[in-house]
Amino acid sequence: MEVNKYEYKIIIRALTTWEQEGRLSTEQAADLKENLLNKDSGRRQVAQYFFFIALCCILLAFGTIFLNEKLLEKIKAYFSWSDLVIALISACLSILWFWYIGAKRKIISAAAYEVYMVLGGLTVLTTLVYLCKEAGMEKSHLPFLSLAFPVLAILSPLLHSKALWIGAIAGMIAWFGSFSEWLSTGNLFLGMNYPVRFTVLGLLILAFAWLQVYFRPMRFLRIITYTAGLLIFFTGLWAVSIFGNFDSLAGWQAVRQIHVLAWSLVFASASVISFYLGIRFKDDLARDAGALFLIINLYTRYFEYFWDTMNKGIFFLVLAVTFGFLGWWLERTKRTSGLATKANNK
């Protein structure tokens, strides 16, 4: 909600007072404060841009320092430290950092807080990397990922950090890929190739997003989980509509593309259903995802089946008529619902 500078100060003062009196929890007050925007000044938006740049620089610095094996070996040799000592030092730094930022949370912006949480999360990951090295498990990414994503998933609600939750989801995706590959037979895990696996994973993440409503400490993370689930589900289904469920690239190339047409129909049906449910229940994410991937599906099918045979102008004319009709239908539906609302109000 956008408010002017005067209104912003009054609302913040009221929220702080209600939080101190116990009428609002710390999480509720923080969520309400995050949704306030001061429209009198562009400095807040500029500050967010700078914090985003700072986040990118942090990631680059971390990659440069900790992915450079020669630099790490020099540091270890100079101080005569073992992997366990580095892990313990990193763990202590993580604890102190999270405690310090948590104490300063009320006086820093939400964007700055998330940047600081990313820095702390990277320190936690450093701890896990050196613990795996100390245990002799550095040759495989699976042990590290098996620790990384649950640790970040636990820290995120405890520290009320969306950035850590995004890291947890990314770690979980990487873990699932590594774990399913480790248990796969003939490039198939439970009879599923990579695209089908991640389609199923997207459905599981969507199911978890709905369950988050019933866990108060994780409610503020639901929109991130829901968005990630939609993207993973539809991206996986799009890949399935191209490659099917074949266990190898050679097997896929040996058949005509018409053999995976059924998957294309499933993909189109899922997009239409998402589009309809998004309109029906006023879910913008589901509506936009359905429309976006329906367009992607149509363009993909065109390049697969009609690129060499159909006139390009005819194809785009059909697309124009189709989406023009959809736009007309949506406008008509909106106009009808608006008239019905006015009639009910009278």
**Residue-wise pLDDT tens digits, 53-107:** 766 676 666 655 555 556 666 777 777 778 888 889 889 999 999 999 888 888 8
Answer yes or no: is 44 within a domain.
Answer: no
The answer as to whether 143 is a domain residue is yes
Task: Give ∠ CA 178-236-303 in degrees, rounded to 5.
Answer: 130
Average pLDDT across the chain, whole number: 80
What percent of the chain clears pLDDT 70, i.e. is strictly above it? 77
Q: Are 336 and 226 within one domain?
A: no
Q: What is the pLDDT of residues 243-296, one digit of tens each?
A: 888 877 777 767 766 777 888 899 999 999 999 999 888 898 999 899 889 888
Looking at residue 45, what is its pLDDT?
60
137 assigned to some structural domain: yes
**Residue 276, pLDDT score:** 92
Q: Are 134 and 82 in contact (CB under 8 A)?
A: yes
Helix (H, G, I), strand (E, B) or coil at 189: strand
Assess whether 130 and 227 both reside in one domain: no
29 pLDDT more than 70:
yes
Residues 247 and 266 in one domain: yes
Domain of residue 120: give its range. 77-183
Which of 125, 152, 183 is a domain's end point?
Answer: 183
Lowest mean pLDDT among 9-18, 29-38, 244-253, 255-264: 29-38
* Cβ-based neighbour number of residue 211 at 10 Å: 11
pLDDT at 80: 76
At residue 15 the predicted structure's pLDDT band, cuts being 50, 70 and 90, is confident
Last residue of a domain, one of 149, 183, 217: 183
Does 67 fall in a domain? no
Examine the domain organization and report whether 120 and 89 are in the same domain.
yes
Residue 39 is assigned to a structural domain of this protein: no
Residues in the chain: 346
- Whether 101 and 177 share a structural domain: yes
- Asked if residue 279 and residue 173 are part of one domain, the reply reads no
- SS3 state at 38: strand
Give residue 188's pLDDT. 85
Instruction: Note the pLDDT of residue 206.
Output: 95
Letter string b/e over residues 218-254, b meaning 16 or more CB atoms within 10 A of that residue's CB: bebbbebbbbbbbbbbbbbbbbbbbbbbbeeeeebee
Same-domain pairing of 99 and 146: yes
d(CA 118, CA 162): 10
The pTM of the whole model exceeds 0.85? no
Asked whether residue 261 is domain-assigned, the answer is: yes
Most confident listed range (119-133, 177-191, 217-231, 257-271): 217-231
The reply to whether 111 falls in a domain is: yes
Q: Residues 36, 230, 180, 122: what is their CA dihedral angle, to the nearest 10 degrees? A: -20
Q: What angle do helix axes 222-243 and 284-301 make, rounded to 10 degrees?
A: 20
- Mark whether 146 and 178 lie in a shared domain: yes
Q: Say yes or no to pLDDT of 342 above 70.
A: no
- Identify whether 89 is part of a domain: yes
Model confidence band, residue 229 (pLDDT cutoffs 50, 70, 90): very high
Q: Which residue has the higher pLDDT, 172 or 16?
A: 172
User: In the chain, what percentage of residues exceed pLDDT 90?
Assistant: 29
User: 209 with 302, same domain?
Assistant: yes
* Final residue of a structural domain among 127, 156, 183: 183
pLDDT reported for residue 63: 59
Task: Quote the number of domains for the chain.
Answer: 3
Q: What span, in angstroms and rounded, lies between the C-alpha atoms of 34 and 346? A: 37
Assess whether 247 and 277 both reside in one domain.
Answer: yes
Q: What is the pLDDT of residue 21?
A: 77
Verify that 250 and 145 share a domain, yes or no.
Answer: no
Q: Tell me: do 265 and 298 sit in the same domain.
A: yes
Q: Confidence band (pLDDT; 50, 70, 90) for 152?
A: very high
Identify the band that residue 13 occupies on the pLDDT scale cut at 50, 70 and 90.
confident
